[in-house]
Structure 1
Amino acid sequence: MGEILGDVLIGFILMAAVAVLYLPVYFVLRKKVCFVRQMSFLLLAGCCLIILLATVLISVILGLTDGQDVLGVRMDINLIPFRWITEEWAMGREKMLSQVAANVVMFIPFGFILPAALPKFRGFLRTMFCAAGFSFLIEFVQYFIGRSSDIDDFLQNTAGGVIGYLIFLLFSKLFQRRKVWKKFTGRLS
Protein backbone atom coordinates (compact mmCIF):
# COMPACT_ATOMS: atom_id res chain seq x y z
CA MET A 1 0.00 0.00 0.00
CA GLY A 2 2.90 2.32 0.77
CA GLU A 3 4.22 1.77 -2.74
CA ILE A 4 0.91 2.92 -4.27
CA LEU A 5 0.87 6.02 -2.05
CA GLY A 6 4.41 6.80 -3.19
CA ASP A 7 3.29 6.50 -6.80
CA VAL A 8 0.36 8.83 -6.12
CA LEU A 9 2.71 11.40 -4.56
CA ILE A 10 5.03 11.20 -7.56
CA GLY A 11 1.96 11.59 -9.77
CA PHE A 12 0.97 14.82 -8.03
CA ILE A 13 4.52 16.15 -8.35
CA LEU A 14 4.56 15.31 -12.06
CA MET A 15 1.16 16.96 -12.57
CA ALA A 16 2.52 20.11 -10.93
CA ALA A 17 5.53 20.01 -13.27
CA VAL A 18 3.27 19.54 -16.30
CA ALA A 19 1.13 22.47 -15.12
CA VAL A 20 4.17 24.73 -14.86
CA LEU A 21 5.32 23.70 -18.33
CA TYR A 22 1.80 24.31 -19.64
CA LEU A 23 1.63 27.92 -18.41
CA PRO A 24 2.91 29.48 -21.67
CA VAL A 25 0.28 27.52 -23.64
CA TYR A 26 -2.41 28.71 -21.24
CA PHE A 27 -1.48 32.34 -21.78
CA VAL A 28 -1.53 31.94 -25.57
CA LEU A 29 -4.94 30.18 -25.56
CA ARG A 30 -6.64 31.95 -22.65
CA LYS A 31 -8.80 34.17 -24.87
CA LYS A 32 -9.78 31.33 -27.22
CA VAL A 33 -10.25 28.38 -24.83
CA CYS A 34 -11.60 28.78 -21.30
CA PHE A 35 -9.42 27.80 -18.35
CA VAL A 36 -11.63 24.89 -17.27
CA ARG A 37 -11.54 23.38 -20.77
CA GLN A 38 -7.78 23.78 -20.91
CA MET A 39 -7.59 21.88 -17.62
CA SER A 40 -9.14 18.82 -19.25
CA PHE A 41 -6.36 18.82 -21.87
CA LEU A 42 -3.71 19.41 -19.22
CA LEU A 43 -5.03 16.54 -17.09
CA LEU A 44 -5.07 14.19 -20.09
CA ALA A 45 -1.47 15.06 -21.00
CA GLY A 46 -0.37 14.71 -17.37
CA CYS A 47 -2.19 11.41 -16.99
CA CYS A 48 -0.50 9.95 -20.09
CA LEU A 49 2.90 11.20 -18.91
CA ILE A 50 2.47 9.66 -15.46
CA ILE A 51 1.42 6.30 -16.94
CA LEU A 52 4.38 6.31 -19.32
CA LEU A 53 6.76 7.29 -16.56
CA ALA A 54 5.49 4.57 -14.22
CA THR A 55 5.54 1.82 -16.83
CA VAL A 56 8.31 2.57 -19.29
CA LEU A 57 10.32 5.73 -18.77
CA ILE A 58 11.45 5.08 -15.19
CA SER A 59 12.99 1.78 -16.33
CA VAL A 60 14.77 3.49 -19.20
CA ILE A 61 15.95 6.38 -17.03
CA LEU A 62 17.19 4.20 -14.16
CA GLY A 63 18.18 1.21 -16.29
CA LEU A 64 15.87 -1.11 -14.33
CA THR A 65 14.74 -4.47 -15.70
CA ASP A 66 12.90 -7.47 -14.27
CA GLY A 67 16.04 -9.56 -14.61
CA GLN A 68 18.81 -9.96 -17.14
CA ASP A 69 20.14 -12.86 -19.16
CA VAL A 70 23.62 -13.32 -20.64
CA LEU A 71 23.05 -10.57 -23.20
CA GLY A 72 21.90 -8.17 -20.49
CA VAL A 73 18.25 -8.23 -21.52
CA ARG A 74 15.44 -10.44 -20.33
CA MET A 75 12.57 -10.49 -22.78
CA ASP A 76 9.93 -12.34 -20.79
CA ILE A 77 6.36 -12.54 -22.01
CA ASN A 78 3.18 -13.98 -20.50
CA LEU A 79 0.38 -14.74 -22.94
CA ILE A 80 -1.72 -16.78 -20.52
CA PRO A 81 -4.62 -14.66 -19.24
CA PHE A 82 -5.27 -14.59 -15.48
CA ARG A 83 -2.03 -16.37 -14.71
CA TRP A 84 -1.58 -14.06 -11.72
CA ILE A 85 -4.56 -15.74 -10.03
CA THR A 86 -3.34 -19.32 -10.33
CA GLU A 87 0.42 -19.01 -9.90
CA GLU A 88 2.59 -18.73 -6.82
CA TRP A 89 4.44 -15.48 -6.91
CA ALA A 90 7.93 -15.00 -5.53
CA MET A 91 6.95 -11.47 -4.52
CA GLY A 92 4.22 -12.75 -2.20
CA ARG A 93 0.44 -12.49 -2.31
CA GLU A 94 0.14 -8.99 -0.83
CA LYS A 95 2.70 -7.52 -3.23
CA MET A 96 0.97 -9.23 -6.16
CA LEU A 97 -2.47 -7.89 -5.17
CA SER A 98 -0.91 -4.45 -4.79
CA GLN A 99 0.51 -4.81 -8.30
CA VAL A 100 -2.90 -5.78 -9.71
CA ALA A 101 -4.57 -2.84 -7.94
CA ALA A 102 -1.92 -0.46 -9.26
CA ASN A 103 -2.44 -1.70 -12.84
CA VAL A 104 -6.19 -1.08 -12.61
CA VAL A 105 -6.05 2.21 -10.67
CA MET A 106 -3.37 3.67 -12.96
CA PHE A 107 -5.76 3.64 -15.95
CA ILE A 108 -8.91 4.87 -14.18
CA PRO A 109 -7.99 8.57 -14.59
CA PHE A 110 -7.14 7.93 -18.25
CA GLY A 111 -10.55 6.35 -18.88
CA PHE A 112 -12.24 9.29 -17.15
CA ILE A 113 -10.29 12.18 -18.66
CA LEU A 114 -10.03 10.90 -22.25
CA PRO A 115 -13.76 11.27 -23.08
CA ALA A 116 -13.93 14.50 -21.08
CA ALA A 117 -11.09 16.11 -23.04
CA LEU A 118 -11.76 14.58 -26.46
CA PRO A 119 -15.41 14.37 -27.57
CA LYS A 120 -14.48 11.81 -30.23
CA PHE A 121 -13.86 9.31 -27.41
CA ARG A 122 -17.21 9.71 -25.66
CA GLY A 123 -18.37 6.29 -26.86
CA PHE A 124 -17.67 3.23 -24.71
CA LEU A 125 -15.93 1.21 -27.44
CA ARG A 126 -13.68 4.07 -28.54
CA THR A 127 -12.53 4.74 -25.00
CA MET A 128 -12.05 1.03 -24.29
CA PHE A 129 -10.07 0.48 -27.50
CA CYS A 130 -7.94 3.56 -26.82
CA ALA A 131 -7.16 2.33 -23.28
CA ALA A 132 -6.42 -1.14 -24.68
CA GLY A 133 -4.22 0.31 -27.42
CA PHE A 134 -2.29 2.47 -24.96
CA SER A 135 -1.80 -0.51 -22.66
CA PHE A 136 -0.72 -2.73 -25.57
CA LEU A 137 1.82 -0.11 -26.64
CA ILE A 138 3.24 -0.04 -23.11
CA GLU A 139 3.48 -3.83 -22.89
CA PHE A 140 5.04 -4.00 -26.37
CA VAL A 141 7.71 -1.42 -25.48
CA GLN A 142 8.38 -3.05 -22.10
CA TYR A 143 9.29 -6.29 -23.85
CA PHE A 144 12.00 -4.54 -25.87
CA ILE A 145 13.50 -2.59 -22.98
CA GLY A 146 14.14 -5.72 -20.95
CA ARG A 147 11.03 -5.77 -18.78
CA SER A 148 8.42 -8.47 -18.84
CA SER A 149 5.34 -8.06 -20.98
CA ASP A 150 2.16 -9.51 -19.54
CA ILE A 151 -1.35 -10.07 -20.92
CA ASP A 152 -2.65 -9.72 -17.36
CA ASP A 153 -1.24 -6.18 -17.12
CA PHE A 154 -2.91 -5.40 -20.44
CA LEU A 155 -6.27 -6.74 -19.20
CA GLN A 156 -6.00 -4.95 -15.85
CA ASN A 157 -5.06 -1.64 -17.51
CA THR A 158 -7.96 -1.94 -19.95
CA ALA A 159 -10.33 -2.74 -17.06
CA GLY A 160 -9.11 0.41 -15.31
CA GLY A 161 -9.82 2.46 -18.44
CA VAL A 162 -13.35 1.00 -18.60
CA ILE A 163 -13.95 1.80 -14.93
CA GLY A 164 -12.76 5.36 -15.57
CA TYR A 165 -15.16 5.65 -18.50
CA LEU A 166 -18.06 4.43 -16.35
CA ILE A 167 -17.18 7.07 -13.76
CA PHE A 168 -17.18 9.65 -16.57
CA LEU A 169 -20.69 8.52 -17.54
CA LEU A 170 -21.82 8.82 -13.93
CA PHE A 171 -20.36 12.33 -13.65
CA SER A 172 -21.96 13.27 -16.97
CA LYS A 173 -25.33 12.17 -15.65
CA LEU A 174 -24.94 13.81 -12.24
CA PHE A 175 -23.44 17.10 -13.44
CA GLN A 176 -24.92 17.45 -16.94
CA ARG A 177 -26.56 20.77 -16.10
CA ARG A 178 -23.58 22.24 -14.23
CA LYS A 179 -21.80 24.98 -16.12
CA VAL A 180 -18.35 23.92 -14.94
CA TRP A 181 -18.91 20.34 -16.20
CA LYS A 182 -20.10 21.65 -19.56
CA LYS A 183 -16.96 23.79 -19.80
CA PHE A 184 -14.70 20.92 -18.72
CA THR A 185 -16.14 18.61 -21.36
CA GLY A 186 -16.28 21.25 -24.09
CA ARG A 187 -20.02 21.41 -24.31
CA LEU A 188 -19.88 25.07 -23.31
CA SER A 189 -16.89 27.30 -23.97
Structure 2
Amino acid sequence: MLTQIFQTEDGQASNSFEFLCRNCNAANVDWSGARMTDTEFHRTRLTGCNLSGTNLRNALFYRCKLDLSSFHDSQLTRCLFQECDLREADFQNTALKRVIVRACDLRNTRYPSTSLSGIDLRGSQLAGMHADTNALQGALVDPFQVADIASMLGLVVERLPTESINEYNREIRYPSAGKHTLIEPDSDGQ
Protein backbone atom coordinates (compact mmCIF):
# COMPACT_ATOMS: atom_id res chain seq x y z
CA MET A 1 0.00 0.00 0.00
CA LEU A 2 1.24 3.48 -0.86
CA THR A 3 1.33 5.48 2.39
CA GLN A 4 4.24 7.88 1.79
CA ILE A 5 3.54 11.48 2.81
CA PHE A 6 5.41 13.93 0.63
CA GLN A 7 6.96 16.80 2.59
CA THR A 8 9.03 19.86 1.79
CA GLU A 9 12.41 20.46 3.48
CA ASP A 10 10.73 22.42 6.29
CA GLY A 11 8.47 19.45 7.09
CA GLN A 12 5.30 20.88 5.53
CA ALA A 13 3.08 18.59 3.48
CA SER A 14 3.73 19.06 -0.22
CA ASN A 15 1.08 19.02 -2.89
CA SER A 16 3.65 18.98 -5.72
CA PHE A 17 5.71 15.88 -6.41
CA GLU A 18 7.22 13.65 -9.06
CA PHE A 19 7.84 9.93 -8.71
CA LEU A 20 7.78 6.51 -10.30
CA CYS A 21 5.21 4.06 -9.01
CA ARG A 22 5.64 0.49 -10.26
CA ASN A 23 3.40 -2.46 -9.27
CA CYS A 24 1.83 -0.45 -6.44
CA ASN A 25 -1.59 -0.60 -4.89
CA ALA A 26 -2.84 2.99 -4.58
CA ALA A 27 -6.54 2.15 -4.70
CA ASN A 28 -8.81 4.79 -3.16
CA VAL A 29 -5.91 7.19 -2.49
CA ASP A 30 -6.94 10.85 -2.30
CA TRP A 31 -4.55 12.95 -4.37
CA SER A 32 -7.09 15.72 -4.95
CA GLY A 33 -5.48 19.09 -5.63
CA ALA A 34 -2.02 17.60 -6.17
CA ARG A 35 0.41 18.83 -8.83
CA MET A 36 2.29 15.92 -10.40
CA THR A 37 5.04 16.51 -12.95
CA ASP A 38 7.12 13.85 -14.71
CA THR A 39 5.27 11.13 -12.82
CA GLU A 40 5.03 7.52 -14.00
CA PHE A 41 2.68 4.76 -12.95
CA HIS A 42 3.44 1.25 -14.25
CA ARG A 43 1.05 -1.64 -13.59
CA THR A 44 -0.39 0.23 -10.63
CA ARG A 45 -3.84 -0.27 -9.13
CA LEU A 46 -5.50 3.14 -8.83
CA THR A 47 -9.12 1.95 -8.59
CA GLY A 48 -11.34 4.64 -7.07
CA CYS A 49 -8.44 7.07 -6.81
CA ASN A 50 -9.45 10.71 -6.25
CA LEU A 51 -7.46 12.89 -8.64
CA SER A 52 -10.01 15.72 -8.61
CA GLY A 53 -8.52 19.16 -9.11
CA THR A 54 -5.09 17.75 -9.87
CA ASN A 55 -2.59 19.22 -12.30
CA LEU A 56 -0.90 16.34 -14.15
CA ARG A 57 1.94 17.28 -16.51
CA ASN A 58 4.09 14.78 -18.42
CA ALA A 59 2.44 11.86 -16.63
CA LEU A 60 2.57 8.29 -17.90
CA PHE A 61 0.07 5.61 -16.91
CA TYR A 62 1.13 2.22 -18.33
CA ARG A 63 -1.12 -0.83 -17.84
CA CYS A 64 -2.77 0.72 -14.80
CA LYS A 65 -6.18 0.01 -13.32
CA LEU A 66 -7.91 3.40 -12.99
CA ASP A 67 -11.52 2.23 -12.99
CA LEU A 68 -13.91 4.38 -10.94
CA SER A 69 -11.25 7.10 -10.58
CA SER A 70 -12.16 10.78 -10.57
CA PHE A 71 -10.30 13.43 -12.60
CA HIS A 72 -13.10 15.97 -12.00
CA ASP A 73 -11.92 19.60 -12.52
CA SER A 74 -8.35 18.50 -13.29
CA GLN A 75 -5.78 19.68 -15.84
CA LEU A 76 -3.92 17.01 -17.81
CA THR A 77 -1.12 18.19 -20.11
CA ARG A 78 1.13 15.91 -22.19
CA CYS A 79 -0.13 12.74 -20.50
CA LEU A 80 -0.14 9.21 -21.89
CA PHE A 81 -2.52 6.46 -20.83
CA GLN A 82 -1.31 3.19 -22.42
CA GLU A 83 -3.30 -0.06 -22.07
CA CYS A 84 -5.15 1.16 -18.96
CA ASP A 85 -8.53 0.21 -17.52
CA LEU A 86 -10.41 3.52 -17.17
CA ARG A 87 -13.92 2.05 -16.98
CA GLU A 88 -16.40 4.37 -15.27
CA ALA A 89 -13.75 7.05 -14.63
CA ASP A 90 -15.04 10.61 -14.31
CA PHE A 91 -13.41 13.35 -16.40
CA GLN A 92 -16.07 16.00 -15.77
CA ASN A 93 -14.91 19.56 -16.49
CA THR A 94 -11.34 18.36 -17.14
CA ALA A 95 -8.89 20.31 -19.32
CA LEU A 96 -7.09 17.86 -21.63
CA LYS A 97 -4.12 19.09 -23.67
CA ARG A 98 -1.93 16.83 -25.80
CA VAL A 99 -3.27 13.70 -24.11
CA ILE A 100 -2.95 10.25 -25.69
CA VAL A 101 -5.26 7.44 -24.58
CA ARG A 102 -3.96 4.39 -26.44
CA ALA A 103 -5.47 0.89 -26.24
CA CYS A 104 -7.44 1.71 -23.07
CA ASP A 105 -10.85 0.53 -21.89
CA LEU A 106 -13.03 3.67 -21.78
CA ARG A 107 -16.38 1.95 -21.34
CA ASN A 108 -18.79 4.10 -19.33
CA THR A 109 -16.25 6.89 -18.79
CA ARG A 110 -17.87 10.30 -18.36
CA TYR A 111 -16.72 13.53 -20.03
CA PRO A 112 -19.44 16.14 -19.31
CA SER A 113 -18.24 19.70 -19.95
CA THR A 114 -14.92 18.33 -21.26
CA SER A 115 -13.56 18.88 -24.76
CA LEU A 116 -11.86 15.91 -26.41
CA SER A 117 -10.56 18.03 -29.30
CA GLY A 118 -7.01 16.99 -30.19
CA ILE A 119 -7.10 13.95 -27.90
CA ASP A 120 -5.75 10.74 -29.43
CA LEU A 121 -8.18 7.91 -28.65
CA ARG A 122 -6.94 5.46 -31.28
CA GLY A 123 -7.06 1.80 -30.32
CA SER A 124 -9.21 2.37 -27.23
CA GLN A 125 -12.56 0.77 -26.44
CA LEU A 126 -15.12 3.61 -26.75
CA ALA A 127 -18.41 1.71 -26.44
CA GLY A 128 -20.58 3.25 -23.75
CA MET A 129 -18.39 6.33 -23.35
CA HIS A 130 -20.46 9.37 -22.25
CA ALA A 131 -19.45 12.68 -23.84
CA ASP A 132 -21.27 15.74 -25.10
CA THR A 133 -21.77 15.53 -28.86
CA ASN A 134 -19.76 18.69 -29.51
CA ALA A 135 -16.99 17.51 -27.19
CA LEU A 136 -16.02 14.77 -29.67
CA GLN A 137 -15.21 17.22 -32.47
CA GLY A 138 -11.50 17.08 -33.25
CA ALA A 139 -10.79 13.85 -31.35
CA LEU A 140 -8.46 11.48 -33.19
CA VAL A 141 -9.94 8.00 -33.70
CA ASP A 142 -9.24 5.03 -35.95
CA PRO A 143 -11.69 3.63 -38.53
CA PHE A 144 -12.66 0.74 -36.24
CA GLN A 145 -14.02 3.18 -33.63
CA VAL A 146 -16.44 4.96 -35.97
CA ALA A 147 -19.33 2.60 -35.15
CA ASP A 148 -18.91 3.29 -31.41
CA ILE A 149 -18.94 7.04 -32.03
CA ALA A 150 -21.95 6.75 -34.33
CA SER A 151 -23.76 4.94 -31.52
CA MET A 152 -22.88 7.78 -29.10
CA LEU A 153 -24.43 10.20 -31.58
CA GLY A 154 -27.60 8.11 -31.80
CA LEU A 155 -26.91 6.90 -35.34
CA VAL A 156 -27.75 3.37 -36.42
CA VAL A 157 -25.05 1.77 -38.55
CA GLU A 158 -25.83 -1.44 -40.39
CA ARG A 159 -24.78 -3.01 -43.64
CA LEU A 160 -27.13 -3.17 -46.57
CA PRO A 161 -27.98 -6.86 -47.11
CA THR A 162 -26.50 -8.37 -50.27
CA GLU A 163 -29.97 -9.20 -51.61
CA SER A 164 -30.94 -5.53 -51.39
CA ILE A 165 -27.84 -4.47 -53.34
CA ASN A 166 -28.67 -6.92 -56.15
CA GLU A 167 -32.30 -5.78 -56.20
CA TYR A 168 -31.19 -2.15 -56.30
CA ASN A 169 -28.84 -2.86 -59.22
CA ARG A 170 -31.65 -4.57 -61.21
CA GLU A 171 -33.91 -1.51 -60.86
CA ILE A 172 -31.35 0.97 -62.11
CA ARG A 173 -30.92 1.25 -65.83
CA TYR A 174 -27.56 2.56 -66.87
CA PRO A 175 -27.34 4.77 -70.01
CA SER A 176 -23.96 3.32 -70.94
CA ALA A 177 -25.59 -0.12 -71.32
CA GLY A 178 -28.09 1.21 -73.86
CA LYS A 179 -30.94 1.21 -71.35
CA HIS A 180 -33.14 4.11 -70.33
CA THR A 181 -32.59 5.76 -66.98
CA LEU A 182 -35.30 6.06 -64.40
CA ILE A 183 -34.45 9.75 -64.07
CA GLU A 184 -35.40 11.81 -67.09
CA PRO A 185 -33.24 14.86 -67.90
CA ASP A 186 -34.77 18.33 -67.60
CA SER A 187 -36.26 19.78 -70.78
CA ASP A 188 -33.37 22.28 -71.09
CA GLY A 189 -30.89 19.38 -71.45
CA GLN A 190 -29.36 19.53 -67.99
Range of TM-score over shorter length = under 0.3
Q: Which has the larger radius of gyration?
A: 2
| Structure with the larger helix share | 1
Normalising by structure 2, we get a TM-score of 0.20
**Larger RCO: Structure 1 or Structure 2 (Cα < 8 Å, ≥ 6 residues apart)?**
1
